[in-house]
Structure 1
Amino acid sequence: MTLDPAQIGAAIQPLNRARSMPAGFYTDPAIFAAERAQVFLKHWFFLCRAEELPDPGDYRAFDSPGGPIVLIRGNDGQLRCFANYCRHRGSILLEGSGNVGGRITCPYHAWSYLNDGRLYGCPDMKDAEGFDKVENGLVALDLDAWEGFVFARFTKDGPSLRDHLGDFPDRMASHDLGKMRCTWRMTLEVDCNWKLILENAMETYHTGIVHKNTVGAQQSRTPATVGDWICIQVISGRSIATLTDEVPPFDPIPGLDAEARQGTYFTVVLPTVQFAVAQDCLWWLKTLPVSANRTVLEVGGCFPESRLLQPDFAHRAAPYYDRWERVAREDVGILEKQQRALSSALYRPGPLSWRDDMVQAMGVWVLDRLGI
């Protein structure tokens, strides 16, 4: 890794004299490789909402920094996550999403697995010395969920999901997030480092410029957090999940506490996902780091289940989808330019503003995990 120790030292100074991270933090393939080993493969990462796979046999395949994986609901109703390869010679088993019923069949040599991961069929293996069907089931990831949000990780070591989340569940308790339902998703391929996307999502410094014709200028405060998450709250007496000055199409969630009524929480559950929790809905930015300068970004949105029962739900929800997509595309445009600029041979880290506090916090969290 080629990060300048002096520049790292400047980046972790108290905010009023700190500077931004060196360019290599976002451009160096060696840093990305270290992040894969020390961050992506060791920490919880968000997959989807549990209700998106309601029935036995329902599955969804994902790419991840640790390779292809698949989430599937078994006949016993339990969700499980497996490495998405056949134990014979490594073919991908499932792509996209759908329902396989009770059995997954490899498209290459027809080995088959039950939807709980056990090996079921393996043609022409009777002469293989020492072959044990029990030992050749699918390889499971660690899996857990909180309020319907499903997370996985590649190791069983380290804090539980609940410990990782710290006081995030307490802060969000009055939003009753377990009753949220995912109604919308979109995916963008972004030519920038994954950290730039999440740093951008954790400051309002840019909104009056980049988003001057959409969300406009915003002000925020920074609540204290416990656990592996960070937070700002954009202050607004009503939801900012649509782009008009009119009353939002959906009423606020009943029973919000006094702090929740003050604005929208923009959070990052480290390392790779933002949850934006407004007075009437929730949306996420889920980053899939692909390389030092490439990320796949999924934007997803949820509403309380009761809202889906309204006969004009689709009409009311449309302005939210429009806002989430337009603002995401505006951010992607500026972030791809930022990534290009970081390749300048003359790049030098600049001073941070007080409004960059969570940008610095996220960078320091990553540095700590890398042992830098």
Structure 2
Amino acid sequence: MADISELDAVRRPIERARGLANRHYADPETCRADDAALLLGGWAGLAVASQVPCPGDARPIDFAGVPLLLLRDREGAVRVFQNVCRHRGMILVAEPRRIEGAIRCPYHSWCYATDGRLVATPHVGGPGRNSDRAVDRAGLGLIEVRSHVWRDVVFVDLGGAAPPFGTVHAAAVARWAELDAALHHDGRDFVLEVACDWKLAVENYCESYHLPWVHPGLNAYSRLEDHYPIMGENHAGQGTTVYRQLREGRARMPDFPGLSNRWNTAAEYVAVFPNVLLGVHRDHAFAIVLRPMGHARTAEHVHFFHAAPAPDPGLADRNAAQWRAVFEEDVFVVEGMQRGRAAPGFDGGRFSPAMDGPTHAFHAWVADRLAG
């Protein structure tokens, strides 16, 4: 159970607030309870739709301990199901692959269409009898998980009771509406595995306060004073007013079409709560989906997007490499904060009212949900 008095201290005005207590990062039982409330109790990022580009493509994903199956059905729709057979709970798909016919359970060969329907139950009524009145195929399809795709990120609502995605994240969707069109998956994805609870990765991403010391190269042209905070009901982060496009000679990354002038030099980096980190620029975008890997380990799945036509491959390679270097610079920070949560005298820390507004916004969001 969450300690309400501790959570109330987190939800105070930033000048008097404390951060989340150590156990929300260091105690396995508390972290599991947090994951259930924050990741499984509303809309959370699972993957990107581009990971299943063709009809029949399927990708198993363990999400906070829940076995899920991301797939594109025969009609081209992206869907998410629980990755278990309705017969005896066997895992259906163990590795990413193309489903050529039906999804066949390797245990007793029950088969499902890519829309989740149970289509075959061999010998279920005895040898040679493939039906039984006690086994209602119509009611034993795969359990579908409510899902929504925005900016190619597949969000899921495991509990099934959250308000519509467009209602929950209306402000973030409206903020970046002119950048939604024509996102093309870059294919230069990578994964960083870090030894920390996923919440620390969100906290670090939200703020620009650490730039001068952790990202000196980035800070050399996008200085601390060039950044501004962003805080909404279910998102927080920071932006810069001095973004410069990557160029090599006359070659440059193509712009997204129809942008207003504010994006000539602006870029924004926002955490969409609970676990998706987005970056938007005039010429490319990225999405980082955070997945817990057990206690105090997180996989950061990084995906890049560009406008059409495709950018020069060398420029796109350089862009992805530069961002990877920036994200790798953060690893020692989040892992250091994780180790610091073993200090019994640390009471959650304090916030700089001038610099830590987005980080405190995430802490308060977490506290609200744990208390509620």
Provide TM-score, normalisation by structure 1. 0.88
The question of 1:357 aligning with 2:357 is answered: yes
Cα-to-partner distance string for 1:189-218 (whole Å, 9 max, x where unaligned) = 221011100110011111211122455543
Corresponding letter in the other structure for 1:29? P
Match of 1:257 in 2: 260
CA apart distance, 1:368: 0.6
- Equivalent residue runs for 1:129-148 within 5 Å: 130-148=134-152
What SS is found at the alignment partner of 1:192?
Answer: coil
- Of residues 233, 243, 267, the one that matches 2:239 is 233
Gaps of 5+ in 1: none
- Equivalent residue runs for 1:249-288 within 5 Å: 249-288=252-291
- Checking the alignment, whether the CA contact within 8 Å between 1:3 and 1:24 is kept in structure 2 is no
Corresponding letter in the other structure for 1:89? R
Alpha-carbon distance in 2 for matches of 1:153, 1:265: 26
The question of 1:303 aligning with 2:306 is answered: yes
Alpha-carbon distance in 1 for matches of 2:45, 2:339: 28
Match of 1:32 in 2: 31
Cα-to-partner distance string for 1:320-364 (whole Å, 9 max, x where unaligned) = 111221122221222111101110123233331121111100011
Alpha-carbon distance in 1 for matches of 2:125, 2:295: 46
CA, structure 1 residues 259+338, in 2 after alignment: closer, same or farther (shift >3 Å)? same
Task: Show structure 1 runs of 4+ deviating over 6 A.
Answer: 244-248
Match of 2:344 in 1: 345
Alpha-carbon distance in 1 for matches of 2:3, 2:24: 7
Corresponding letter in the other structure for 1:207? L
- Checking the alignment, whether the CA contact within 8 Å between 2:46 and 2:63 is kept in structure 1 is no
Count of matched residue positions in the alignment of Structure 1 and Structure 2: 363
Of stretches 257-266 and 314-323 in structure 1, the one that deviates more from structure 2 is: 257-266
- Checking the alignment, whether the CA contact within 8 Å between 1:104 and 1:115 is kept in structure 2 is yes
Match of 1:19 in 2: 18
Gaps of 5+ in 2: 127-131
Alpha-carbon distance in 1 for matches of 2:11, 2:249: 42
Of stretches 112-121 and 212-221 in structure 1, the one that deviates more from structure 2 is: 212-221
Taking every aligned residue pair, what percent have the same amino acid on both sides? 29
Match of 2:89 in 1: 90
CA apart distance, 1:284: 1.7
CA, structure 1 residues 13+247, in 2 after alignment: closer, same or farther (shift >3 Å)? farther
Match of 1:180 in 2: 184
Alpha-carbon distance in 1 for matches of 2:204, 2:249: 27
The question of 1:158 aligning with 2:165 is answered: no
Match of 1:44 in 2: 43
Match of 1:222 in 2: 229
- Checking the alignment, whether the CA contact within 8 Å between 1:62 and 1:69 is kept in structure 2 is yes
What SS is found at the alignment partner of 2:338?
Answer: helix
CA apart distance, 1:4: 8.1
- Checking the alignment, whether the CA contact within 8 Å between 1:56 and 1:101 is kept in structure 2 is no
Alpha-carbon distance in 2 for matches of 1:30, 1:162: 32
Corresponding letter in the other structure for 2:360? Q
- Equivalent residue runs for 1:40-119 within 5 Å: 40-119=39-118
The question of 1:210 aligning with 2:214 is answered: yes
Match of 2:129 in 1: none
Alpha-carbon distance in 2 for matches of 1:34, 1:252: 43
Alpha-carbon distance in 2 for matches of 1:110, 1:290: 30
Corresponding letter in the other structure for 2:365? W
Alpha-carbon distance in 2 for matches of 1:231, 1:330: 18
